[in-house]
Amino acid sequence: MFTALPGHAATRDSQAPSALPAPTPGRLTVYFLDVGQGDAALIVSPTGKTVLIDGGPPEAGTRLAARLRELVNQPLDLVILTHPHLDHLGGLPAALKAVGAKRFMDPGFDHPSEAYRALLDFVGREVGQVMTPEPNAAAPQTLLTVGLGEGVSLTMLWPRMPQEPFLANTRSDANANSIVAKLTYAKTSFLFTGDSEPPTEEALLQKPLDLTATVLKVAHHGGKHSSTAAFLDRVAPQAAVISCGVGNDYGHPSPEVMGRLRDVHARTFRTDQDGEVMAVSDGSTVTLRSSKGAESTVSVSGAQHAGSPVALGPIESTPDRRSGRAVEKPPEPGGASKKSKTAPSAPAPTSTSEETGQNFVSLKGSKVFHRESCSTLKRSKNERTVYTRRADAQRERRPAEDCHP
Ligand SMILES: [Zn+2]
Ligand SMILES: [Zn+2]
């Protein structure tokens, strides 16, 4: 377990600003930001591509925005909301206002919270490109992978609509259908699990996936149900990071999960005690350090994963389907490879849309337009403009990347 450091009893207000340095060009850097009881992690790729995974609770918004201003100097390339709970989305509006974003991804299921609705409306207006982990329609068995340059890729392992139904009747279906993503850089990898639940872990364990990760972002703030022994055995993390608040009401992280992490010999960091945690990978070694501990630097060898970090098999329901590589094409340095322009041959329902009478719809104030059937539209209550002809929509707006009208 991570050794306690002096000063842990200090109140949040007495904290010095993070002493952790800016990202180093040529390295992959992941900041597990200190947002109290919630999650927020910033990925900065060797070429400077940025991905923010979650934005902490509302009360962390100001601090998160300030930290992002220090760490990124252009709009985030991608913002991922793992699931629509307030401790993951509350700080996002402030963060997005502070630094901007080019794309937004969430798991794509509806959730009746005002904060989530408001976020979607904000994102629809300010970000425009909204996407889900759905695979390219032309290759439905593949996993969605986002290329971040220099061979760094971020692959969405869960959820997998429409190939796999959303997990239902779990302790929390919103948690259980969190986006789970694996970030890979040469021999090193990171697994981001959101608030995933035991059924999520079971579903992933049944797939032909390489779940191993040098660094694990522990599910659900270290809650006792998640991070089952079987899952941790497969992930075999050498380091683990728990994002949770000082003295939180939930008792996170649970002694059970701390014990299971000890059982797999993971060096464990926790943001309530260690503050912000920074992990830097050169492709073979990950060095972790925390903002509150001068002595907390550890080097983690990624060597044991050599040869297999991106050997992800397709997620399929039936085991005897063909098992090629999941990543259908090399990651694009330019960002999201989903439904990229290189695949115009994909069966495009829009080619017949004018015959079938499908309309194109834009949300009020949005820079993009969607197919009328796009799920993004169903999740927004904004006013909308309807175009009966694609050409009319395109004169005024860009096609959305989620439904590629
Ligand atoms: Zn949470
Ligand atoms: Zn949650």
How much is the pLDDT for 329? 35
Ligand 2 center–CA 88 separation, angstroms: 7
Ligand 2 center–CA 70 separation, angstroms: 27
Residues lying with their CB under 5 A of ligand 2, a single-atom ion: 85, 175, 195
Q: What's the pLDDT band for 327 if we cut at 50, 70, 90?
A: very low
Q: Name the closest ligand to CA 245.
A: 1
262: number of Cβ within 10 Å: 13
Q: Where are the alpha helices (DSSP H) in 6-101?
A: 61-71, 86-89, 92-99
Q: Please choose, from the candidates 111, 109, 107, the residue with its C-alpha nearest in 3D space to the C-alpha of residue 134.
A: 107
Tokens of 278: 């920074």
The pLDDT tens digits of the residues spanning 26-60 come to: 999 999 999 999 999 999 999 999 999 999 999 99
Distance CA 405, CA 386 (A): 13
Residues lying with their CB under 5 A of ligand 1, a single-atom ion: 87, 195
Mean pLDDT over 370-395 rounds to: 80
Q: What percent of the chain is modeled with pLDDT above 90?
A: 59
Q: Name the closest ligand to CA 36.
A: 1
What residue ranges in 16-96 does DSSP mark as E strands? Answer: 28-32, 41-44, 50-53, 78-80
Q: Name the closest ligand to CA 87.
A: 1
Q: What is the largest CA-CA distance in the chain?
A: 70
Ligand 2 center–CA 41 separation, angstroms: 15
Ligand 1 center–CA 221 separation, angstroms: 6
Q: What percent of the chain is modeled with pLDDT above 70?
A: 79
Residue showing tokens 């509006």: 93
Ligand 1 center–CA 244 separation, angstroms: 9
144-153, 246-255, 362-371, 377-386: the lowest-pLDDT one: 377-386
Domains along the chain with CATH numbers: 24-305 (3.60.15.10), 349-399 (no CATH)
* pLDDT above 70 for 2: no
* pLDDT above 50 for 295: no
Ligand 2 center–CA 131 separation, angstroms: 20
Mean pLDDT in the chain? Answer: 82
Q: Which helix (H) or strand (E) holds 259?
A: helix 255-263
Ligand 2 center–CA 194 separation, angstroms: 7
Ligand 1 center–CA 12 separation, angstroms: 20
* pLDDT above 50 for 5: no
The pLDDT tens digits of the residues spanning 64-86 come to: 999 999 999 999 999 999 999 99
Distance CA 247, CA 36 (A): 10
Q: What's the pLDDT band for 361 if we cut at 50, 70, 90?
A: confident
Q: What's the pLDDT band for 182 if we cut at 50, 70, 90?
A: very high
Ligand 1 center–CA 271 separation, angstroms: 14
* pLDDT above 70 for 343: no
Q: Name the closest ligand to CA 223.
A: 1
DSSP 3-state assignment of 300?
strand
Displacement of CA 124 from its chain's centroid (Å): 19
Ligand 1 center–CA 239 separation, angstroms: 20
Q: Spell out a b/e string for 343-382, using b for 16 or more CB atoms within 10 Å of the CB, else e.
A: beeeeeeeeebeeeebbbbbbeebbbbbbbebbbbebbee
* pLDDT above 90 for 393: no
Ligand 2 center–CA 34 separation, angstroms: 17
The pLDDT tens digits of the residues spanning 190-249 come to: 999 999 999 999 999 998 899 999 999 999 999 999 999 999 999 999 999 999 999 999
* pLDDT above 60 for 274: yes
Q: Name the closest ligand to CA 56.
A: 1
How much is the pLDDT for 128? 80
* pLDDT above 70 for 306: no
Mean pLDDT over 86-106 rounds to: 97
What's the Cα-to-Cα distance from 372 to each of 21, 136, 193, 357, 358, rounded to whole Å? 46, 19, 32, 10, 7
Ligand 2 center–CA 380 separation, angstroms: 21
Ligand 2 center–CA 177 separation, angstroms: 10
The pLDDT tens digits of the residues spanning 137-168 come to: 788 778 889 999 999 999 999 998 888 889 99
* pLDDT above 80 for 63: yes
Ligand 1 center–CA 113 separation, angstroms: 15
